[in-house]
Structure 1
Amino acid sequence: MKVMVIGGGGREHALAWKLSQSPLVTHIYCVPGNAGTAQFAENVTIDSIVGMAEFAAENQVGLTVVGPDAYLADGTVDIFQRKGLLVYGPTQAAARLESSKVFAKAFMQRHGIPTARHQSFTDPVAARRYIEQIGAPAVIKADGLAAGKGVVVAMDLSTALQAVERMMNDRIFGESGSAIVVEEYMEGEEVSLLAFCDGNRAVPMLSAQDHKRIGDHDTGPNTGGMGTYSPTAAYTPDVAERVVREILNPTIQAMRQEGTPFVGTLFLGLMLTQSGPKVVEYNVRFGDPETQVVLPLLESDLAQIFLDAIAGKLDPDKIHWRSSQYAVCVVAAAPGYPGTYPTGLPINGLERVADSLVFHAGTKTTAEGRVLTAGGRVLNVVHLGDSIREAVDGVYRDLSRIHFDGIYYRKDIAWRELGRSE
């Protein structure tokens, strides 16, 4: 079976890498892919979603996997389905759980799914007035997609009001900021949970914990993610049972009841509060960089899982994990990220990485075969270990062997888990 993976980041490299291990898969296309996927897959440049669907039909692609949220929000799955093509991911209507935070909050309110108290606004004056009433801290979120950067956690009133101004009046996120959600600040520890979904049921993957801020000790602006690890002891069996019972299953059932069954990967951003787990946000695709630590711990055939989900026949008894191991991912970023950053910097030392996986994110290859930087988040180095300490030490040991001018990475990934274990 030929498989096509849409996207060109570290998540898509990890997906293609795992799919390449399936005996069902004979050839992989990546659109557009990167320097890492080019090592074992065929990178293809296609300018439109319709063009991708036509390519899949012409080349007899048996399964397409959609990585980025923007493609799902733009109806990629619907277009492929109309051509009779098998595609893993939610429809445009189901993808509103991520593409519109206003929709997602109203959905959770309708169905009693635990989340933060909130109000939605299309008028900046009304939003500012509400923030002045509730005070700080508060969380301000752009309604639409913003590459993981459309959330401001404001610990003081002036930061909250400035966030409204920048989103709604300055339109730093374009039309995504035409509406916003203002919600209460939730105290607790954040956990990411991904789940395979077939429209009727959801099968959770291993838990993970992301590090969003650019600086050590969780300082500086938010990014798309600077590192992650899996699993986390914060996600206890009791918490897991509550999440499935109070959040995951009700979400899948409610989506089906509303006529938009969810097929694909549902990503729950959770806050573990004193009163129980609550939804911070929904994502409707594999997380980045959560995918890079979860998939290496998956023992089962990923292609078969995708086919079963599309057919509405997911079987949790057929999905197995390396539950005794840990995986840690550290993101190597370009200098200046998440602001402006240079590209085209030569990357050296990749061949010296001994025991870790290297998933390329923002990279490209020259005609001479040199690997260059081509994005803000450049590489994801992932190490597996029998303890969290072993995984952390391994990833930093191998990361130290890689170099490009101005390379930057956090030095404290998995600090919470190390504290718990030591």
Structure 2
Amino acid sequence: MNLITKVPRGTQDILPGQSKNWQTIETVLRQVASLHGFSEIRTPVFEHTELFQRGVGDTTDVVQKEMYTFQDKGGRSITLRPEGTAGATRALLEHGLYAAALPQKLWYEASCYRYEKAQKGRLREFHQFGVEMYGSADPLADAEIISIASAIFSRLDIHGLTLELNSIGCPTCRAAYTKALQEYFGQYKDQLCETCQSRLERNPMRILDCKSEICHKIGEKAPSILDYLCDDCKAHFQKVCSALDTLGISYQINDRIVRGLDYYTRTVFEFTTNDLGSQGTVCGGGRYDGLVEELGGPAMPALGFGLGLDRLLLLMEAQNIRFPQQPACDLYIASIGEAARLKSLVLATALRSADMIAAFDDLGRGLKAQMKYANKIGARYSMVLGDNELAAEQASVKNMETGDEDNLPIDENFAKAFAGMERRSSLFTTL
């Protein structure tokens, strides 16, 4: 074939065989979020650019290098969302959700866009599940947010993850830390990449998150934020750790985690794996107590996490985690002749109304080709309709695995009779 184009670099098609696995994961995500009292929010795929400049931070790689930004026909600067938190917070403020009962607990599933070097586990269009909690400054809220991610991994049978935990303090204690970083990195200014040289005065913590090997190597011996925490931030972090200990959630302190977005304060965390090579961060989040106010709202604490679904699927594949196989078809109705084809449509419609998956021939194929198709789609049962079956008003339904057959009436009671036959067959198999 001479295709006029292919899927853009850094994006992917999710085909029918794969989408079932996505649906399985999405069901687990929704269930866990609901059990923790979170409600779904859906925000636009694009926002005004200043939302991300103010919320995410103009010194971050995301804003400086990775955003898909363009001008619309009205001359407004528009950006495809690079992450979900800023949009959710904008919606919280615009619609007055912050004035309702607190805490406000929101979850979302969204496609996000970042212009990065496309590679396995790092796409330009990626899919993110996130939770956001607004209104609680309590350390137990931090532990609860982390426990949600832990519960998701447990339900999906994912193993071998490491929870890495840090505190990056508040604006008060970060002032002293910023000065210490400026003094340290100032010694190596000429060796830093061009981006980090500009960060040195404005936001030196961003240097710790730089992807440059040279900057990363220099940053290994930089001062630790944990040595600069104020008493309040230190007490908060200790309570988070204590709550995780009580929950039995193991963790490692990693004082180099700063996350890639400027809105974070105090607790930051990542769930990492060794099964995906360099793209080892599966989930990341923390606290961002200044974000609501930064976007024009009242002073309000907030926290949450983002979980990459594309990378999550890669991890489950790497760990050979099997997804439940759902039947593609409960009953395939083969037909001989136009009258039988019409009847097969009627019976299939009745089965679908009773929440069963039914298929029939809508290509006018011969019987042999129809039965081959029934095998290809994994039909659990098959039935052949012809003139004899129509005259007798009954047909034989065959179990495609065992070969057992049952005669059923092909009248208004057909769906009920088929459901009863299937229950009997399942009971016999169980016994």
Q: Same fold (TM over 0.5)?
A: no
TM class, shorter-chain normalised?
A: under 0.3
From the CA coordinates, give the structure whose radius of gyration is larger. 2
TM-score norm. by structure 1 comes to 0.24
Structure with the largest fraction of strand:
1
Query: Which structure's relative contact order is higher, taking Cα pairs within 8 Å and 6+ residues apart?
Result: 1
TM-score norm. by structure 2 comes to 0.24
